[in-house]
Structure 1
């Protein structure tokens, strides 16, 4: 398992019970048994299984089974054209189907970015399948009784206007036509020399065409950037469809009368970078109202891409948190961790 060599990981492609084909990395530790705890790692936008490249080997060496899928629309996984297929309820059903395929009843679910949002919803749709929940960079937000279109959200929070752009179908071809620049903009670190705001993407392709992002500003090396470029040359419609699901998600959650509260005994960890504009203290405080056992950890001077920017901290802190839980809780976790 070499982070610079994607082929060195254990890859699988399977058709799951929901009818979709998923590609995922499935890495087993030595002396694996049915009692071995599994870490199910869910990436965000625009990413793929490769986003967890620095964590997989160390976590396997510590005795965890690590399962990392390409989420729907990404990499070697199916890429339906219809945005409705990407609703969080359906994504969570897919994750359950992967667990079923592997014979795993309960997992530690870890999500970053959109993966964090999906992980939070998984805790509502399938609470019995979780031993613990870890959310990175994007804090938990509860279901709402009122539907707010993305365009309305963008007006209320102008720094999120890029989401309104991603929601528009035109963004797919425009981003595909400026893919390298787009990736360089998205994968900037917390202290870029070019003060371009992501929200400016809403102005369209002419903005992307004029942007110059130096190598020193991005968190990827040349080899990693090339890998991501090849992944997204397969198309951006699937990844962008996540931003086109707001109404579908709302209708599903409203129909199911999902509670805003997570399971009261569920251990939850939230980790974020203090220089990540997607995370604010008010959002974290709000999350505490709905998650009784929420612990949060701030990484000073880190940005959004903490799996890379703070890879050693993430790699070490998460297993330690889980081991501390095994000592603290005398219930379900004790028997697994």
Structure 2
């Protein structure tokens, strides 16, 4: 398991009971015994893939965990339906449950990043309870301007535009181990700013192994990944119909790790989340941003390992956002 060699991981592709095909990494510890070795289900966000967990998979496996890291729907080697309603939380959760059933895993610790944390248990970045009233995205952005970039992603035209400028887009959003990007001045608050930088012909090419991998994987299509931003009404209706409670189950242990430079994780929203979670713990990593698995790879590996060791033998079913 060499992070610089994606092919060194154990790749699998299977058709799930939901009828959808998923590509995933299934890495087993030495002398694997399902009764002794817990499973970590790692769910990536946007715009990522199983490869987002490349620095954690090996260390966690060597510590005795089975690690399953899928390409989520719309990404990489997994199915890529066209309709946005196929990407709702309920359907993604059905896929993940079917994946665990396929692997004969009855319980798992779920670790999510970005959209992956939302799928991990109706948990956003950070957690917000289900809303009884639907707010269209423009109204949400008025209240939370740092989410303004989602207006661009919600527009179906962004799929082809980003696809046409994929190299530039990857350089915009991908951060290196120091948290630096090609466009450090970029603020994902302005819809127009994204279009302007995408069309900037002066963006330097990057030939790193990581960026080459993402260019290849995201080059398979951006419509599916962007569809996650076109599901707000569908998700609201699902949650309303299911009468989801505001509080998480009291028997679930919850760890929230956040970078102090991540604009999606504000102290106010984090403190609000604690009201709805009984077994809550959060860890702030100073000076780091949104891509913690890369920017703070060793800290993430260690913090999660320590948290898992502290849990009792009655393992939780969900962890959440990194």
2:146 corresponds to which of 159, 173, 176: 159
1:200 is the counterpart of 2:186: no
Q: What displacement does 1:238 show?
A: 0.2
Match of 1:120, SS? Answer: coil
1:52 is the counterpart of 2:38: no
Q: 1:165 to 1:251 in 2, by over 3 A?
A: same
Per the alignment, residue 113 of structure 1 pairs with 114
8 Å CA contact 2:109, 2:315 repeated in 1: no
Structure 2 gap segments, 5+ residues each: 317-322
8 Å CA contact 2:43, 2:112 repeated in 1: yes
Match of 2:121, SS? Answer: helix
* 1:208-223 matches, cutoff 5 A: 208-210=198-200, 222-223=208-209
CA–CA separation in structure 2 for the residues paired with 1:221 and 1:320: 35
Match of 1:197, SS? Answer: coil
Q: Deviations over 1:156-189 (max 9, x none)?
A: 2222111011001010111111111111111246
CA–CA separation in structure 1 for the residues paired with 2:106 and 2:207: 38
Number of residue pairs matched by the alignment: 312
Per the alignment, residue 31 of structure 1 pairs with 31
Q: 1:166 to 1:325 in 2, by over 3 A?
A: same
CA–CA separation in structure 2 for the residues paired with 1:198 and 1:180: 17
1:11 is the counterpart of 2:1: no
Per the alignment, residue 315 of structure 2 pairs with 333
Q: Deviations over 1:227-285 (max 9, x none)?
A: 10011111100000000000000001100101111110211000000011111011111
Q: What displacement does 1:15 show?
A: 0.5
Match of 2:24, SS? Answer: strand
Q: Deviations over 1:119-159 (max 9, x none)?
A: 1328xxxxxxxxxxxx9xx2111111010111211222222
1:230 is the counterpart of 2:212: no
Per the alignment, residue 126 of structure 1 pairs with none
* 1:95-174 matches, cutoff 5 A: 95-121=96-122, 138-174=125-161
Q: What displacement does 1:196 show?
A: 2.2
CA–CA separation in structure 2 for the residues paired with 1:213 and 1:116: 31
1:181 corresponds to which of 128, 145, 168: 168
Per the alignment, residue 248 of structure 1 pairs with 234
Q: Deviations over 1:39-95 (max 9, x none)?
A: 000000000000000111110000000000000000000000000000001101111
8 Å CA contact 1:159, 1:198 repeated in 2: yes
Q: 1:323 to 1:212 in 2, by over 3 A?
A: farther
Per the alignment, residue 132 of structure 1 pairs with none
The structure where helix makes up a greater share of residues is 1
8 Å CA contact 1:201, 1:208 repeated in 2: no
Structure 1 gap segments, 5+ residues each: 123-134
* 1:299-314 matches, cutoff 5 A: 299-314=285-300
Match of 2:32, SS? Answer: coil
Match of 2:109, SS? Answer: strand
